[in-house]
Structure formats: structure tokens, C-alpha cells
């Protein structure tokens, strides 16, 4: 009989696993060609407007496969409800039987996205991170710090947001995580002060330009996951010593690399893939002066990995207590 878990249970066991390590393993399996990810299923609704996506796949010879269902209905906010929702389904790769339903309400997607940022920083950030720059004072801007904590000792942040109110709230929440945050409405100030930058906004025009970026900076761009969104000017990717995509095939159609290729600033041959960078020391940052960019668009193997890890811990946890 399949087991059913709710958000509070999921949050409780997340503290007992290391999502960064799980996601890292996922990227390695992905770049090794061990992951099967069929085309995404999609339903678009008109009245009210909304969309539902079905992402699914598995690691070959693994015990499980995972189906994620995620929806976004913007008008939910009219009645004070979150626009996003979602669930993770885990099945046995031996029998096809459902093993678990995780009603995570989209939370595990946030976690696996933030954990990917930590993986990118782990392998690409300079050794001495002076200050962390965060673009976007939303959930992901907070969660990035939560997982960056595990890969860098730096606790100084400069945060960019749309207004003072959201930045004040961000500052408070980041302080609770142990970070000292300066805030700004000027993107250039972030670039001038920070050598590890994470962009997590829904921007559709560049927030940062090439001449603003300091030598030795690593930028993880994770807001842009469609063909329309863009956070970095193509010149940044052109200038960068390394551009690392989570999935080279995926960034042919979306994300910062897509935009930079469209602009003629970089070529497909210039791209590295994160899983390969993790495996091969020679593909990682070679000096403290390099500028590096990680272009993260979100890959189903992240959903697979986080769901498996949480499930395994939920089962142990619920047996014990």
C-alpha cells in the first residue's frame, strides 16, 4: 500500500538529509547519461488562467521512478491562496507500484532548486567568498542562503530587491539564518561588493552587465527557466571563463545560455555540464581570478533525487517514532 506524507512531515525529515549531496549525485548521473527524462507533460487552462506540468523520469537500474505534478494558478492570490502547488509521486522500478505520495505543495521543488545553487557554488565559487550577492528577495532568495551555508563559511550578504519593504523582510529572515544582510535597489552595488552572486528573479531583461562583474566572481543564474526569461546580459557569458549548464540539451531552448547563444555571444561548444564539472577537477575553477557562470534551468533528476532521499528518511523516521 502506497504511503502518503504531508508537508509538515516532509519538512521535519528534510533537516535529517543532505539535499546538496543528493542533488550533486543526480547531476553526475545525468551527465553520465544514466537518467531517463521523457518530454514534460503540460496542460494550459484559460478560465481562470493556470498551467500544470508533469515532469517524470528515473535513473537507470535504480529502485524508483518519480512523477512530479506542479501547477501555477496566479489568481489563487485573489483569495489569499498560494498560486503554486504540487506533489511528488514515487513508484517502484521493479513492480511499477506506487510507493508514496508526497504532498509537498511545491516545497521540494524549492529545496532541490536551492540545493543545485549550493552544488554550483561548491564547485565554481572562488575559495574566498567575500560577500554573497542575492538578486530576488523571495522564497528562493531565502532558501539559497539556507543551502549555501553548507558550502561556504561566508555570512555577509548584499541583497537586491524591487522595494525596501520586501528587502527589510528578507533581511530579517536572513538574519535568522545567521546572515548579515545589506540591501540595495541598485544591481551595480551588488556586483561591486560580491564575488558570489545568485540570481533568482523572474526577470525578462538583464539585471547585470559584463562591465559590472568583478574578476573572480561566480554567478549562479537560476531564475531563468523559460525561453523568455533572462537575468544576465549575454556579454557576461561571453566574458566568463566557464559557463556551466545543468543540462546542455535543455539550455539549447531556455535559460541564460540560450539567450547568449541567440545573441551570438557564446556557442554550444563553449558550454560545460555541471555533472561533468563535478566529476572532473580540470573543469572546475582554475584560479581565483576566473569569472564563472552556472546556468541552472531545473532538471527532473533533481526531483527524482530529492523525492527518493526524503522518502527513504520518512520511512525510517515513521518506523522509529
Residue among 134 and 299 whose Cβ is closer to a copy of itself: 299
**318 vs 111: CA distance, rounded Å:** 21
98 lies in the site for a copy of itself, by CB under 8 A: yes
Residue among 56 and 170 whose Cβ is closer to a copy of itself: 56
Question: Cβ of 52: how many Cβ atoms within 10 Å?
Answer: 16
Restricted to residues 22-51, the positions that interact with a copy of itself (CB under 8 A) are 36, 38-39, 41-43, 45, 47-48, 50-51
**215 vs 195: CA distance, rounded Å:** 8
321 lies in the site for a copy of itself, by CB under 8 A: no
Relative to beta strand 49-59, strand 64-72 is antiparallel
Residue among 79 and 163 whose Cβ is closer to a copy of itself: 79
Residue among 47 and 269 whose Cβ is closer to a copy of itself: 47
85 lies in the site for a copy of itself, by CB under 8 A: yes
96 lies in the site for a copy of itself, by CB under 8 A: yes
**131 vs 152: CA distance, rounded Å:** 10
**106 vs 108: CA distance, rounded Å:** 6
Largest CA distance in the chain: 58
Between CA 15 and CA 22, with CA 18 as vertex, the angle to 5 degrees is: 140
67 lies in the site for a copy of itself, by CB under 8 A: yes
58 lies in the site for a copy of itself, by CB under 8 A: yes
Residue among 96 and 153 whose Cβ is closer to a copy of itself: 96
87 lies in the site for a copy of itself, by CB under 8 A: yes
**133 vs 131: CA distance, rounded Å:** 6
Task: Measure CA of the first residue to CA of the last residue in the chain; give whole Å.
Answer: 20
Shortest gap between Cβ of 63 and a copy of itself (angstroms)? 12
Question: Cβ of 32: how many Cβ atoms within 10 Å?
Answer: 13
76 lies in the site for a copy of itself, by CB under 8 A: yes
The residues that touch a copy of itself, with contacts defined as CB under 8 A, are: 1-2, 4, 6, 36, 38-39, 41-43, 45, 47-48, 50-52, 54, 56-58, 61, 65, 67, 69, 71-73, 76, 81, 85, 87, 89, 91, 93-98, 101, 103
Amino acid at each position: 500500500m502506497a504511503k502518503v506524507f504531508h508537508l509538515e512531515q516532509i519538512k521535519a525529515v528534510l533537516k535529517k538529509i543532505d539535499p546538496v549531496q543528493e542533488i550533486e549525485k543526480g547531476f553526475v548521473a545525468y551527465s553520465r547519461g544514466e537518467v531517463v527524462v521523457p518530454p514534460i507533460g503540460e496542460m494550459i487552462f484559460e478560465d481562470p488562467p493556470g498551467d500544470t506540468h508533469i515532469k517524470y523520469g528515473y535513473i537507470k537500474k535504480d529502485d524508483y521512478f518519480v512523477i512530479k505534478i506542479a501547477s501555477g494558478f496566479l489568481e489563487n492570490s485573489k483569495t489569499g491562496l498560494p498560486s503554486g502547488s504540487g506533489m511528488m509521486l514515487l513508484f517502484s522500478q521493479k513492480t511499477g507500484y506506487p510507493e508514496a505520495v508526497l504532498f509537498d505543495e511545491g516545497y521540494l521543488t524549492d529545496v532541490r532548486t536551492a540545493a543545485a545553487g549550493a552544488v554550483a557554488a561548491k564547485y565554481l565559487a572562488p575559495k574566498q567568498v567575500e560577500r554573497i550577492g542575492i538578486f530576488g528577495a523571495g522564497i528562493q532568495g531565502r532558501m539559497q542562503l539556507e543551502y549555501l551555508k553548507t558550502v561556504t563559511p561566508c555570512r555577509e550578504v548584499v541583497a537586491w530587491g524591487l522595494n525596501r519593504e520586501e528587502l527589510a523582510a528578507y533581511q530579517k529572515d536572513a538574519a535568522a539564518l545567521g546572515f548579515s544582510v545589506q540591501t540595495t535597489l541598485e544591481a551595480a552595488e551588488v556586483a561591486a561588493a560580491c564575488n558570489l552572486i545568485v540570481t533568482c528573479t523572474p526577470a525578462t531583461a538583464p539585471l547585470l552587465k559584463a562591465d559590472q562583474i568583478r574578476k573572480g566572481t561566480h554567478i549562479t543564474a537560476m531564475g531563468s527557466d523559460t525561453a523568455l526569461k533572462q537575468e544576465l546580459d549575454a556579454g557576461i557569458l561571453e566574458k566568463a571563463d566557464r559557463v556551466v549548464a545543468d543540462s546542455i540539451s535543455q539550455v539549447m531552448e531556455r535559460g541564460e545560455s540560450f539567450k547568449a547563444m541567440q545573441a551570438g555571444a557564446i556557442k554550444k561548444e563553449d558550454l560545460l555540464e555541471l555533472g561533468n564539472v563535478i566529476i572532473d577537477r580540470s573543469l572546475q575553477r582554475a584560479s581565483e581570478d576566473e569569472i564563472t557562470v552556472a546556468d541552472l534551468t531545473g532538471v527532473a533528476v533533481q526531483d527524482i533525487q530529492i523525492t527518493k532521499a526524503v522518502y527513504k528518511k520518512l520511512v525510517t523516521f515513521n518506523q522509529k517514532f
